[in-house]
Structure 1
Amino acid sequence: MTTMQAWLKQAADEERDRVAKAAGTSVGYLYQIAGGHRKASPELCKKLQDATDGVLTVSMIRPDLYLLIVGADPKSAA
């Protein structure tokens, strides 16, 4: 289970709705991202990070983007 899947599972319906709305997407799309069926854009990753106050981060949602942005291994940045 990915971190995003875990967050979706534990978050209340209202929280999932709030985060999706703040990020300009739908809860269904968040589930598609978490399941690996879709990839979040860099902009959406940032919006999700902001909407969750850093509970979900760019490096959690798209580790490949994190490597491109900072040029470092996300595991070593922790």
Structure 2
Amino acid sequence: MDMKTYIAKEGRDAARRLAFLSGTNYIYLTQIASGFRKPSGRLTLLLEHHSNGKLTRHELRPDLYPEA
């Protein structure tokens, strides 16, 4: 699932909680969802972890984490 779908499906509150747990803010997640920003490698791994795998590193940054 990509970030845009995650925010739409899980809701703003879940996305805000995810941002907090990942050490970023909700606005930054919306910028990722819109394609204006790319998460760093570290943030990508944190988002994958704190979303319980709903967001995957490959979907967030295929340039850094190609499919195996």
Tell me if TM exceeds 0.5. yes
Counterpart of 1:19?
18
Counterpart of 1:66?
65
How far the C-alpha of 1:4 sits from its partner, in A, is 1.5
1:54 aligns with 2:46: no
TM-score normalised per structure 2: 0.89
How far the C-alpha of 1:35 sits from its partner, in A, is 1.2
Aligned residues: 68
Secondary structure of 1:63's aligned partner: coil
> CA 1:4–1:66 in 2, change beyond 3 Å: closer, same or farther?
same
For residues 54 and 36 of structure 1, what CA distance do their matches in structure 2 show? 20
TM-score normalised per structure 1: 0.79
How far the C-alpha of 1:48 sits from its partner, in A, is 0.2
How far the C-alpha of 1:12 sits from its partner, in A, is 2.4
Instruction: State the identity %.
Output: 37
| Offset from partner CA, 1:14-71 (integer Å, 9 cap, x none) | 211110000001111011111110110000000000110000011010111103xxxx
Structure 1: 5+ residue runs without aligned partners? Answer: 68-73
CA RMSD of aligned residues (A): 1.3
For residues 33 and 11 of structure 2, what CA distance do their matches in structure 1 show? 16
> Relative contact order (C-alpha < 8 Å, sep 6+): which is higher?
2
Whichever of the two has the greater Rg, that structure is 1
